[in-house]
Structure 1
Amino acid sequence: MLCDSLLFIIGGFHTTGNLLTWALYFLASHQDVQEKVYKEIKKVLGEDDVEPSTASDLSICVRVIDETLRCAVVAPWAARYQDFDSELGGHKIPKTPLVIHALGVSLQNEKYFPNPNKFDPDRFSPENTKSRPSLAFQPFGFAGKRVCPGQKFAEAEAVVALVTILRKFKLKMVEGQVVTPTFGIVTHPTEEIWITLQKR
């Protein structure tokens, strides 16, 4: 149990840190979205702390997190071993090799996410998610019991961090930066991202 707990904490630290890096970048680059999130925080929470019971009420903030996961492809792939031989699309897949699921392919698919390189949290509004297959958005890996065990913790941690930062500071990009991703086990910015914080 101790090993599982350590893996959970250490494994989630890097991915959630990069999720927050990208979220702050997108919010600093999209002042209109940042202002919507700030107004929602003031309206829903006022001066109260964010609690697990109120985190889901911050729907715009949650959409920003979902769109960050989609747009930045924070975790670009997942891997699993199969327990049995199978066939998919006429291709035989033996049980031994590692099966790689390229999460970024579905997260950037124009069929489900038109103009996929554009940061648009409204993609995750109730109206826009109705017609999209649920498996089109799987940033935490395979559905069901194969999904990342830290999903709920990472989402809650991201909401708490964004609320804490945005209720105190306005974010703005330092001009002249070109931000590019470096893909690996976790997608991260190639260079540092410089953001100024202005006290609210």
Structure 2
Amino acid sequence: MLDFAIFAVTFVIILVGAVLYLYPSSRSASGIPGLNPTEEMDGNLQDIVNRGSLHEFLASLHGQFGPVASFWFGGRPVVSLGSVDQLRQHINPNRTTDSFETMLKSLLGYQSGMGGGATEAVMRKKLYESAVNNTLEENFPLLLKLVEELVGKWKSFPKDQHTPLCAHLLGLAMKAVTQLALGDRFRNDAEVIGFRKNHEAIWSEIGKGYLDGSMEKSSIRKEHYESALAEMETVLMSVAKDRKGQRSQTAFVDALLQSNLTERQVMEDSMVFTLAGCVITANLCIWAVHFLSTSEEVQEKLHQELEDVLGSEPVSLDKIPQLRYFQQVLNETVRTAKLTPIAAQLQENEGKVDQHIIPKETLVIYALGVVLQDADTWSHPYKFDPDRFTEDSARKSFSLLGFSGNQACPELRFAYTVATVVLSTVVRQLKLHQVKGQVVEARSELVSTPKDDTWITVSRRS
């Protein structure tokens, strides 16, 4: 999944410099059905903006033209795939190993690790994954402590008090990611607050400002973004310097420092993990808790699985794989929320999907938000139903899309671990309830994010 999660803005950066000033010619997008350009300079960019998000635009596009459709960005045709069958045809021969890292680093203007060949790319990926796994193993007690603190706070609330999900779970994600990735310096609340300020400034522009070009039109916003990025880089370089030479590898950055990476590479990998890790972890937890609040039945099934697998013991890293229903709940959370609705690949060589030829160097969109709610793939696609993942076909489709199995990126695996700790701690001690009359809407950005005024109420288990 996250191999492609940041496409929604990165494709703009990749293409703008090359095609913004090219006149959209009358040629079709390789005979693939789709939209003609509506503007000479920008192709269908204004159509995307008018729809409110790239996901909504793609949903409309595929609704009109079918599972393989095209549109224009500048003077260049783009192909979008909107069904599992078509994605399977394209992914199998075209899977790359480092699309997420490459695209996010391109967005941030980073170059290291992007041109070293396939061998170096594989080694870097293994190092990155190993660093994440080691971080979870070394810091699992700390993660439990952070979650217990939050749940203890929720337990102290009166029964009818509204609990703000976004604020609390984003705060938890920020603490967890910074302390596990960067070390005990971030046990200081002031350090976390400073990190959060810069993180929000960077991510808000990555998620929104590039797609419609609005950041480039505002010198104030651009200056604010660049200042936040520079400050974040300075902090990460300082962390690496302070922790260099440590024998133990208790944090993500320590594992990177024990490798052959340069200081710059360590900083960049730390930036990728902390930027994406905070947002993915927070929103997976927010959506999961929200969906649980809508189903007492799912809460009770989770509670029973905890009794069966753990008894009275706390959740542990080695027991998490045995919590199969928890995995189903998180899979269904990702699917129902369309956690990352867009993905992409650059067609390196000429390819074919169905009868359609995709020329070399064509940008191919994976319309994951469309596929995740496709009625031909998922029965009752808009219903939150974790039991659907008892079926092999559902698990295989989910894995194909990159949301589970070997193709799931380290940030997502980290987020699943944190979310499992959150849900297991919550359902053992509390019952979650919807706020009556509340309509939860998502901001369709780089990652599907509930609007800030998303609330629940809680009550203690008897």
TM value normalised by structure 2: 0.39
Q: 1:173 to 1:104 in 2, by over 3 A?
A: same
Which residue pairs with 1:48 in the alignment?
313
- Higher Rg: 2
Following the alignment from structure 1 to structure 2, what is the Cα–Cα distance between the partners of residues 58 and 142?
15
Shift of 1:190: 3.1
Q: 1:139 to 1:52 in 2, by over 3 A?
A: farther
Q: 1:153 to 1:136 in 2, by over 3 A?
A: closer
Which residue pairs with 1:29 in the alignment?
294
- Give 1:43's aligned amino acid: D
1:139-165 deviations in whole A, cap 9, x for unaligned? Answer: 6469865x4332322222211121122
Which residue pairs with 2:420 in the alignment?
159
The answer on 1:20 being equivalent to 2:281 is no
Q: 1:168 to 1:143 in 2, by over 3 A?
A: closer
1:159-187 deviations in whole A, cap 9, x for unaligned? Answer: 11211222222111111111122312111
Following the alignment from structure 2 to structure 1, what is the Cα–Cα distance between the partners of residues 406 and 294?
34
Which residue pairs with 2:397 in the alignment?
135
Q: Mean alpha-carbon deviation: is it higher for 74-83 or for 86-95?
A: 86-95
Following the alignment from structure 1 to structure 2, what is the Cα–Cα distance between the partners of residues 171 and 138?
32
The answer on 1:187 being equivalent to 2:456 is no
What percent identity do the matched residue pairs reach? 38
- Give 1:199's aligned amino acid: R
Task: Describe the SS at the equivalent of 2:344.
Answer: strand
- Give 1:57's aligned amino acid: Q
Q: 1:117 to 1:133 in 2, by over 3 A?
A: same
- Give 2:458's aligned amino acid: L
Which residue pairs with 1:73 in the alignment?
338
Following the alignment from structure 1 to structure 2, what is the Cα–Cα distance between the partners of residues 83 and 20?
36
Q: 1:167 to 1:138 in 2, by over 3 A?
A: farther
Following the alignment from structure 1 to structure 2, what is the Cα–Cα distance between the partners of residues 144 and 33?
27
Q: What is the correspondence of 1:114-129 to structure 2 with a 5 Å cutoff?
A: 114-125=379-390, 129=391
Following the alignment from structure 1 to structure 2, what is the Cα–Cα distance between the partners of residues 143 and 80?
20
Partner residue of 1:7 out of 272, 276, 281: 272
Q: 1:162 to 1:139 in 2, by over 3 A?
A: farther
Which residue pairs with 1:63 in the alignment?
328
Following the alignment from structure 1 to structure 2, what is the Cα–Cα distance between the partners of residues 87 and 43?
49
Following the alignment from structure 1 to structure 2, what is the Cα–Cα distance between the partners of residues 140 and 185?
16
1:135–1:143: 8 Å Cα contact kept in structure 2?
no
Task: Describe the SS at the equivalent of 1:87.
Answer: strand
Following the alignment from structure 1 to structure 2, what is the Cα–Cα distance between the partners of residues 30 and 196?
13
- Unaligned runs of 5+ residues in structure 2 are 1-264
Following the alignment from structure 1 to structure 2, what is the Cα–Cα distance between the partners of residues 42 and 35?
11
Q: 1:130 to 1:143 in 2, by over 3 A?
A: closer
Following the alignment from structure 1 to structure 2, what is the Cα–Cα distance between the partners of residues 17 and 71?
16
Shift of 1:35: 1.4
Following the alignment from structure 2 to structure 1, what is the Cα–Cα distance between the partners of residues 445 and 392?
32
The answer on 1:98 being equivalent to 2:360 is no
1:87-131 deviations in whole A, cap 9, x for unaligned? Answer: 323433334343221112221121221111111110011xxx224
Task: Describe the SS at the equivalent of 2:319.
Answer: helix
Following the alignment from structure 1 to structure 2, what is the Cα–Cα distance between the partners of residues 32 and 182?
28
Shift of 1:24: 0.6
- Unaligned runs of 5+ residues in structure 1 are none
1:69–1:139: 8 Å Cα contact kept in structure 2?
no
Task: Describe the SS at the equivalent of 2:378.
Answer: coil
Shift of 1:196: 1.1
The CA RMSD measured in Å over matched residues stands at 2.3
Aligned residues between the structures: 196
The answer on 1:38 being equivalent to 2:299 is no
Structure with more of its chain in helix, by fraction: 2
Q: 1:141 to 1:169 in 2, by over 3 A?
A: closer
Following the alignment from structure 2 to structure 1, what is the Cα–Cα distance between the partners of residues 314 and 400?
29
Task: Describe the SS at the equivalent of 1:171.
Answer: strand
2:281–2:412: 8 Å Cα contact kept in structure 1?
no
Task: Describe the SS at the equivalent of 1:100.
Answer: strand
Following the alignment from structure 1 to structure 2, what is the Cα–Cα distance between the partners of residues 46 and 136?
30
Q: 1:49 to 1:95 in 2, by over 3 A?
A: farther
TM value normalised by structure 1: 0.86
Q: 1:150 to 1:120 in 2, by over 3 A?
A: same
1:140–1:151: 8 Å Cα contact kept in structure 2?
no
